[in-house]
Amino acid sequence: MKIKRKLSVAEYITNSLFELMKIKSYNEISISDITANAKVHRASFYRNFSSKEDIIHKWVKTTTNNFRINTNIDYKKDNTIDFYTKLFTHLLKYKTETTLIYKADLFYLLKEEFDINLSIQGFNTFKSYFIAGGVFNVYYYWLINGCKESPQTIAQKLVDLNSKIADT
């Protein structure tokens, strides 16, 4: 008899990895640990993922895509403070997962996603990467310092920085 699941197998596996990362080092977690914790067969893992890193990579992509769809965020259409507030509110929502990703030395996966998603149509490449890198580094600093400031405060700081850069 087939067990009816509330989530997809991939979601069980992803949740399992994040649960395990709360109690063990990423490097100490095996595929067997993940599948046992998720209560799925090893073959199910390899039908959905190629590696542990692939789990994180797909989670970052899926989470980003869902955010873009659900918020309709757009650097050119949103005013700057609203854009940054939406972005940092989203990032705060996933503080636990992104802190675990940081501790696993996989933060570059988030940087890649920033570069892809903050590359702005119609801006030259250098300006897009300048914005993406600056926003990412503000996020990095905010995260490793415990996200003490509100998303609105961070958004205002970024708006202030943008205006100072534009004035020079």
Instruction: Tell me the two tokens of residue 143.
Output: 């995260």
> In this predicted model, what pLDDT tens digit does every residue of 12-37 receive, in sequence order?
999 999 999 999 999 999 999 999 99
The answer on 135 and 86 residing in a single domain is yes
The answer on 43 and 16 residing in a single domain is yes
pTM of the model: 0.88
Q: What pLDDT, on a 0 to 100 scale, did the predictor assign at position 121?
A: 56
Q: What pLDDT, on a 0 to 100 scale, did the predictor assign at position 163?
A: 74
The answer on 44 and 32 residing in a single domain is yes
The answer on 142 and 82 residing in a single domain is yes
The answer on 163 and 81 residing in a single domain is yes
> Rounded to whole angstroms, how far apart are CA atoms 104 and 22?
11
The answer on 147 and 70 residing in a single domain is yes
Beta strands in the chain (DSSP E): none
Q: What pLDDT, on a 0 to 100 scale, did the predictor assign at position 128?
A: 79
HSE toward the beta carbon, residue 2, CA cutoff 13 A:
3
Q: What pLDDT, on a 0 to 100 scale, did the predictor assign at position 92?
A: 98
Instruction: Tell me the two tokens of residue 160.
Output: 């202030």
Number of domains in the chain: 2
List phi, psi (to 5°) of 106.
-115, 20
Q: DSSP labels for 18-58?
A: HHHHTTS-GGG--HHHHHHHHT--HHHHHHH-SSHHHHHHH
Considering only CA atoms, which of 82, 106, 100 is closest in space to residue 16?
100
The answer on 148 and 128 residing in a single domain is yes
Q: What pLDDT, on a 0 to 100 scale, did the predictor assign at position 1?
A: 41
The answer on 60 and 15 residing in a single domain is no
Considering only CA atoms, which of 38, 50, 54, 136 is closest in space to residue 87?
136
Q: Which domain holds residue 86?
A: 51-167
Q: What pLDDT, on a 0 to 100 scale, did the predictor assign at position 168?
A: 47
- Tell me the residue type at 86: K
The answer on 131 and 68 residing in a single domain is yes
The answer on 147 and 98 residing in a single domain is yes
> Rounded to whole angstroms, how far apart are CA atoms 139 and 136?
5
Q: What pLDDT, on a 0 to 100 scale, did the predictor assign at position 108?
A: 96
Residues of the chain with pLDDT under 50: 1, 168
